[in-house]
Amino acid sequence: MASIVIVGAQWGDEGKGKIVDLLTQYADVVVRFQGGNNAGHTIVLKGEKFVFHLIPSGILYENKKCIIGSGVVVDPAVLIEEITELKKRGYLKDDSQLMVSEEAHLILPYHRRIDIARDQLFKIGTTGRGIGPAYEDKVARYGIRMVDLMDEGVFRQKLKANLLQKNLYLTEVLKEKGFEFEAILEEYLQYKKEIGKHVKDTSRILYEEIRKGRHILFEGAQGALLDLDHGTYPYVTASNTVSGNACAGSGIGPTMIDSVVGVAKAYTTRVGEGPFPTELKDRIGERIRERGGEYGATTGRPRRCGWFDAVVVNHAIRINGIQEMAITKLDVLSEFDKVKICVGYRINGEILRHVPSNLEILERSEPVYEELDGWKEEVKRSNKISELPLRAQHYLKRIEELIQLKITMVSVGSERNETIEIKNPFQKIG
């Protein structure tokens, strides 16, 4: 038995999809445990691009199971779109490959409208997919789950009760249009027909897989600094993105997790609002955006770009219990004369080595940089870390020293095979 959690160690979009796809060759089951279709996980396979918002990034392998756990909020229209697209492209031939927890909560049209309208007021820069409002309903205990949708009577009754208050809130408070009960009912009963076969008691199924000795990969969405409790609140997402939530969000216990792998870019990006100490608003930031194709996989928004921030990644290591690190997009930094790493924040004449909870302090702090020589050479042809340009090796070594962890994977391109030093991470565990 071996279970590994893969999590983002920055503000999301670290290349988790690529790393999960790569490691799925060693796994039997891949599980999403939080978030929803705010996520956009990209895989490039022989020039063909796939972006997954809900379906786990292991789905391109024929004989692997993929589970959307109870901690995920599911927009059924998006799920159906992903399933249809995959089938059109010759994947997901066997429906039993994909399972959705019956305990997962549904995103409804009013969640999306509330999300978009409220973002005008609170300016978090959400993806507008209804994620926050759906989690709010879950915590308030009037959310509607997959299992409710499977029973028309229950769904009708819960939808009716919810719409009463949602329409009032939308029209009276947010000054938006409300929704018709019959229209949503009809739309969702159609979804029920299409996804019903995937809806299962996935906690029980996963438990059985683990007991049979199968290898499980948990695929985090978003990143450490977007965690609801430990991120840059309120500029965060509405779920716990940390590895600990792999348990609650899939219905297994912490004794069943063996290892945690972090994924970080060789630099930093962020989409949406909120503090970002190493952000580069200059030509270098623009060059990183252009070279790295840094535009949101979900919303297409330009991502804010900046230097690697070791303070941020150390925060991620602590709150996730990360034991090894994958560094992605090293190739993007290949054109610069100098590269910088942030090693602390200067504030009121002091140097902080951790991310302060007080956002005002974070916003006012100045990054303290170490400057290293750039390598200005192609890194894509290297098969081993020792074949990388010497200065690129120095860069990675310095990161390893600062984060006090081994970098066990280095990604140098978006293709599955553009990765250095992949070892079977399950082998070490047994």
Annotated active-site positions, please?
13, 41
Which residue, 316 or 412, is less far from ligand GDP as judged by CB? 412
Which residue, 32 or 41, is less far from ligand GDP as judged by CB? 41
Q: Are 5 and 261 in contact (CB under 8 A)?
A: yes
Minimum Å gap between C-beta 153 and ligand GDP is 38
Stretch that binds ligand GDP, among 25-33, 36-44, 90-98, 224-232 (CB under 6 A): 36-44
Q: Are 412 and 380 in contact (CB under 8 A)?
A: yes
By the rule CB under 6 A, 262 interacts with ligand GDP: no
243 in helix, strand or coil? coil
- C-alpha 7/C-alpha 295 separation (Å) is 20
- Residue 409 DSSP label: E
Torsion, CA 414, CA 380, CA 270, CA 51, rounded to 10? 0
User: Which one among 39, 72, 74, 305 touches ligand IMO, defined by CB under 6 A?
Assistant: 39
User: Which one among 20, 146, 297, 396 touches Mg ion, defined by CB under 5 A?
Assistant: 297
Length of the chain: 430
Number of residues that bind ligand GDP (CB under 6 A): 23
User: Which one among 2, 10, 11, 13 touches Mg ion, defined by CB under 5 A?
Assistant: 13
By the rule CB under 6 A, 250 interacts with ligand GDP: no
- C-alpha 80/C-alpha 198 separation (Å) is 11
Q: Map residues 113-132 to x or -, x wherever contact with ligand GDP holds by CB under 6 A.
A: --------------------
CA distances from 338 to 135, 341, 372, 427 (A): 43, 10, 6, 38
Between residue 204 and residue 243, which ones bind ligand IMO under the rule CB under 6 A? 221-223, 226, 237-238
- C-alpha 408/C-alpha 399 separation (Å) is 12
Place of tokens 């894509």: 380
By the rule CB under 6 A, 16 interacts with ligand GDP: yes
β-strand partners of 371: 340
Q: Map residues 326-345 to x or -, x wherever contact with ligand GDP holds by CB under 6 A.
A: --xx-xx-------------
Beta-carbon contacts of 300 under 8 Å, excluding residues fewer than 6 positions away, are none
By the rule CB under 6 A, 271 interacts with ligand IMO: yes
By the rule CB under 6 A, 309 interacts with ligand GDP: no
CA distances from 254 to 60, 216, 243, 249, 423 (A): 28, 13, 10, 11, 24
User: Which one among 2, 8, 15, 285 touches ligand IMO, defined by CB under 6 A?
Assistant: 8
Minimum Å gap between C-beta 22 and ligand IMO is 16
- C-alpha 206/C-alpha 251 separation (Å) is 8
In the complex, the residues that contact ligand GDP under the rule CB under 6 A are: 8, 12-18, 40-42, 44, 292-293, 297, 328-329, 331-332, 411-414
Residues of this chain that interact with Mg ion (CB under 5 A) are 13, 40, 297
